[in-house]
Structure 1
């Protein structure tokens, strides 16, 4: 900014000097000190060329007032008088140059070179200092996470001036970008407006949040903002708010442990103390009532479900196995290993039983280890079910054996109901007489006889459990107790009560 009460001086300096060649731009001029102060507030120049003798406010008075609020601005003073007093006062206010009017361009240019170099050095110093301050803050926080530098951490706390904090941990998933670039993007967002301070915490990026700011407590909004700024897939976990900076270590560990278990939670949210797992397992029975998971049992169940062609049953068995593993606190790695073994065993057994599907099984087997790449539990279930569904399509579910197995399974599951061959023929879309013949040829029993025997076997178990005869009759599907008596005696040769007496010891 050029400040001089003589228009010719202002215009001459503005037009004669090639300012851009020296890294400057004239942002404004003023004809006196009062006008210069008003324009300074909006233009904030780095250099002011000021005339000493001006009406209303002298150049020295102008410099004095601006120096009260700005210690970095540079001044060059102009004067038509070579009085020592002016020079002495100018030196007092750290003026970089003192020139006599009329101004000689060759005398001014060396000052411009010197001031430009000073600005460059100051800028570099500020950049280095800011970097060092940032690295020092990061070093203090990183050390505090291990329980060190707590005194320095308290000093940092006072410097920040925040009253409450939260810790946000971000883990970039399948990242194709350098982590340093992601960190910079997060710094641009969080460190603007004093929302937080970003630091490295390998393999994660940590953010010490200013919980005094409302948006830092809106997790839905924060997730969207992070997603918008880093534009890559990520997982995030946040601590509860805390007031004592010394509690940083504890809350960081809690948030870190939670993000390690992100596999058990759905995508699209910042994990917090309020987050619920994707699959909720209720402890409805005691630990003593649960036997150790037997892979062979799960495999047998899945093979049977495959043989009868029931995809819903397959999905239920897979889900039940997963729930059991979660209930038993299996870690992510072990859950994936168990499912790889389960699916591999099922496929190999089916390949042995169905010689014509070797190519299909081999193809699916080559993709089983894709289970390891599933980042979420629900994704794992979907992937496993898709493999088994693909296998199911290759099995001849219209064969006679499969059809009868379906009937036997329906009887096993529904023996206590009023189940009839006529009903099954409608469900399976077959002629009743033809279906009955297929069943007799395969099992050696008529449908009703087979049903009776299943019911009687169930009744024997219930009798030995201490249920009364009429209760047993009701539970296995006999509405008439006398009819149950006659059926039981027909197949077992004794009454229900006598059977219980004979086998109760």
Structure 2
């Protein structure tokens, strides 16, 4: 601690300097004063912790020094020294917070006791101030928490006293960009403080795992936007900002609405799953308008597996990508939590696998097992990663089943019919699947096969029914269903037309 000695007699100052081992007592002498005016100026400049001060000095008395020092904000301890006992001086000194009064000649033990008591008093006061600040910070954090979660009683809050008074606010949340990282998150709040050159331009607090910043005032909001646009949206690789992921809510114009900006930022943090590659920031403008627009049960009976399966079989890369883009869009606007989205995607992949392995039972299609599909999807942090996994898997499926290229469209159509004849195939459906006008495709089909589309389908079905009649024990109506005829009488009619006898007669004749 700093000690200042003031006395107009140099011998007294010298005596005090060597009377005690000041360093052992925890003090060092920071200065000396020879008159009242000089002492006052040095006290204000040096701000010592303890001042040994003679009452009677030239220019200004000790009491005048104390009075003026207090008026200028000095809060250190004064120990008064006097050559005679004058209790009227002591009584006046008490008014200015002086608690110790020593008479000359000064006794070594009395001086040591006085300075140690002053030292202990200062330490106790500092400890008390520290505790009060801790309690205040804790209470302040609690109030800020209530403001964020819209639980604060505005009628009892003094925003000016809390230094929250402003005309515009915005809430920012930040976390590690690398979600696998166990390192501490970079202190973005401190970066903003340095950028703003004003520690009162923002509030920072932690709420569970969230790092929360409340920006206050136009200057703070504008500096944040500059950082986002120039340094964070496309951060330099390896820089501190490259390690951050941020979300921010809309600006609000009263402290009572801070919670609204916070809710935006929270929702965006939950929707981090929908970010694209290397995206570090989500702002309130990224929230879907009129969200949600698709209810969660809309995916319970979705047609995505069949659409995807069809486009894989037709080798229609463009249509497949369009379906995946639509799936991404529907999920983005759906009322689904991320774990449910992942479950939905795993279910779609497993259904596509089931469709293809059932249709191409004689071909080994390189699908992972169901547990591996679920595990792979669960481990992904972003939707784009899962859709990349889908695209790669579906390309491998196209290669495995030998789907023809677009240069040989008719082979692709015949290939598709050969494996899907049992479905309710229509020329219009096939045309859409392969990206053609149905009228034009009908003409091309007839030219290539010499038959109409419907006649060709009937022939394929009848040929496959003949195999089943000879090799299966199924009843005739069951075989009709297996090859795509829902009306057994219609099946009988078609079979007799192409074979010249009924299904039962054919079975008896050739078995």
User: When the two structures are superposed, what TM-score results if normalisation uses the length of structure 1?
Assistant: 0.65
| Cross-structure match for 1:371 | 377
Q: Aligned to 1:300, which of 309, 330, 340?
A: 309
**Greater shift in the superposed pair: 57-66 or 134-143:** 134-143
| Cross-structure match for 1:150 | 154
Q: Indicate if the aligned counterparts of 1:187 and 1:197 stay in contact, CA closer than 8 A.
A: no
| Cross-structure match for 1:345 | 351
The number of equivalent residue pairs is 415
| 1:193 maps to 2:199 | yes
Q: Indicate if the aligned counterparts of 1:167 and 1:251 stay in contact, CA closer than 8 A.
A: yes
Q: Deviations over 1:155-178 (max 9, x none)?
A: 234542622242425264648769
Q: Indicate if the aligned counterparts of 1:33 and 1:62 stay in contact, CA closer than 8 A.
A: yes
Aligned-partner Cα distance in 2 for 1:328–1:88: 78
Q: Aligned to 2:388, which of 377, 382, 388?
A: 382
Tell me the SS of whatever aligns to 1:22: coil
1:233 is displaced (CA, Å) by 4.9
Q: Aligned to 2:227, which of 221, 231, 243?
A: 221
Aligned-partner Cα distance in 1 for 2:265–2:204: 15
Q: Aligned to 2:249, which of 220, 226, 238?
A: 238
Q: Aligned to 1:273, which of 278, 284, 290?
A: 284
Aligned-partner Cα distance in 2 for 1:354–1:151: 72
Aligned-partner Cα distance in 1 for 2:429–2:263: 56
Q: Aligned to 1:326, which of 313, 332, 351?
A: 332
| Cross-structure match for 1:467 | none
1:66 is displaced (CA, Å) by 0.5
> Are the structure 2 counterparts of residues 443 and 369 from structure 1 closer, same or farther at C-alpha, using a change threshold of 3 Å?
closer
| 1:19 maps to 2:18 | no
Q: Indicate if the aligned counterparts of 2:40 and 2:65 stay in contact, CA closer than 8 A.
A: yes
Q: Indicate if the aligned counterparts of 2:52 and 2:79 stay in contact, CA closer than 8 A.
A: yes
Q: Indicate if the aligned counterparts of 1:183 and 1:198 stay in contact, CA closer than 8 A.
A: no
Q: Indicate if the aligned counterparts of 2:275 and 2:382 stay in contact, CA closer than 8 A.
A: yes
Superposition pairs of residues 390-405 of structure 1, within 5 angstroms: 391=396, 395-396=399-400, 401-403=402-404
1:6 is displaced (CA, Å) by 3.3
Q: Aligned to 1:108, which of 108, 111, 127?
A: 111
Tell me the SS of whatever aligns to 1:95: coil
Q: Indicate if the aligned counterparts of 1:302 and 1:346 stay in contact, CA closer than 8 A.
A: no
| Cross-structure match for 2:262 | 252
Aligned-partner Cα distance in 2 for 1:140–1:442: 66
Q: Aligned to 2:48, which of 30, 45, 48?
A: 45
Q: Indicate if the aligned counterparts of 2:186 and 2:240 stay in contact, CA closer than 8 A.
A: no
Aligned-partner Cα distance in 1 for 2:343–2:96: 76
Aligned-partner Cα distance in 1 for 2:397–2:431: 34
| Cross-structure match for 1:94 | 97
User: When the two structures are superposed, what TM-score results if normalisation uses the length of structure 2?
Assistant: 0.64
Aligned-partner Cα distance in 1 for 2:355–2:430: 34
| Cross-structure match for 2:479 | none
| Cross-structure match for 2:482 | none
1:85 is displaced (CA, Å) by 3.4
Superposition pairs of residues 43-192 of structure 1, within 5 angstroms: 43-70=46-73, 72-144=75-147, 145-153=149-157, 155-160=158-163, 162-170=165-173, 172=175, 174=179, 186=189
1:90 is displaced (CA, Å) by 2.3
Aligned-partner Cα distance in 1 for 2:417–2:180: 58
Aligned-partner Cα distance in 1 for 2:361–2:441: 37
Tell me the SS of whatever aligns to 2:98: coil
1:68 is displaced (CA, Å) by 1.0
Q: Aligned to 1:208, which of 211, 214, 226?
A: 214
> Are the structure 2 counterparts of residues 298 and 26 from structure 1 closer, same or farther at C-alpha, using a change threshold of 3 Å?
farther
Tell me the SS of whatever aligns to 1:28: strand
Question: Where in structure 1 are there 5+ consecutive unaligned residues?
Answer: 284-289, 413-438, 445-455, 463-471, 493-505
Q: Indicate if the aligned counterparts of 2:273 and 2:382 stay in contact, CA closer than 8 A.
A: yes
Tell me the SS of whatever aligns to 2:285: coil
1:269 is displaced (CA, Å) by 4.6
Aligned-partner Cα distance in 2 for 1:356–1:269: 43
Q: Indicate if the aligned counterparts of 2:169 and 2:215 stay in contact, CA closer than 8 A.
A: yes
Q: Deviations over 1:398-438 (max 9, x none)?
A: xxx544787237977xxxxxxxxxxxxxxxxxxxxxxxxxx
Question: Where in structure 2 are there 5+ consecutive unaligned residues?
Answer: 294-298, 419-425, 453-511
Q: Indicate if the aligned counterparts of 2:164 and 2:216 stay in contact, CA closer than 8 A.
A: no
Aligned alpha-carbon RMSD (Å): 4.9
Tell me the SS of whatever aligns to 1:109: helix
| Cross-structure match for 2:409 | 408
Q: Indicate if the aligned counterparts of 1:80 and 1:100 stay in contact, CA closer than 8 A.
A: yes
Q: Deviations over 1:305-355 (max 9, x none)?
A: 6xx5x7776555433322243355555444322221222334456667487
